[in-house]
Amino acid sequence: MRRYLVAGNWKMNGSLTSVRELLAAIRQAQDDTAELAVFPPFVYLAEVAAQLRGSGIAWGAQNVSEHPSGAYTGEVAAAMLQDFGCAYTLVGHSERRALYGETDAQTAVKFELLQQAGIRPVLCLGETLQERETEQTECVVERQLTAVLDRVGVAALSDCVLAYEPVWAIGTGKTATPEQAQAVHAFIRSIVAKSDDIIAGSVRILYGGSVKSANAKALFAMPDIDGGLIGGASLNPVEFLDIAHATI
């Protein structure tokens, strides 16, 4: 059975004080409802690792370089993230694709480098509003996933997490209905199943896009939704834990 994962992407938010307060609140109130993970900005990874080590809460980075090392000012390599105990790292997030022009091919390279470093990639997939309105959702998601499959093979998906995040629902207050989200999650799983039924049945697929405690339970009740990649709501410990409790 797939265990729910509720992961908080803090994006470019926080301070040393707020990070300490947020982690303390999460640790104090956590239970075994679902697996929890947080994705702080790079500069807070050491603090997060120190606060969460031994807690059962995982942590990871929001991005990684497509290069293993070298003269790439401002970049962070997978091996460096390994030094800080990252269990997961996001790749292909819609903001990286849209704001920084990251391609499917770059995402696939990052995915591979993370796995070589012993870090589980959280591969983000999703379409823009224009792509949804022109009925390109399945084409876009399949293209993004296939780029990774072509590089690393389906077996690599046995040690990763997938996350469907419709771009039009991120930070907008709009959310895909549970049925809309389920349809895409089922489609993603069907792509994997073409190569391996067992991996398709075991890989976790998260939903990301304005998830809140008010809509989490309905989303998580869908058969192919295995938790959430939470944005703004993950900065509020009460809201974040309420979302985790919605997995019951």
Q: Which residues are catalytic?
A: 93, 165
Distance CA 12, CA 206 (A): 21
Name residue 59's beta-bridge partners: 38
10-14's contacts with Cβ under 8 Å and 24+ in sequence apart are: 10/38, 10/39, 10/40, 10/41, 10/62, 10/234, 10/235, 11/41, 11/62, 11/95, 11/231, 12/41, 13/41, 13/235, 14/40, 14/41, 14/44, 14/235
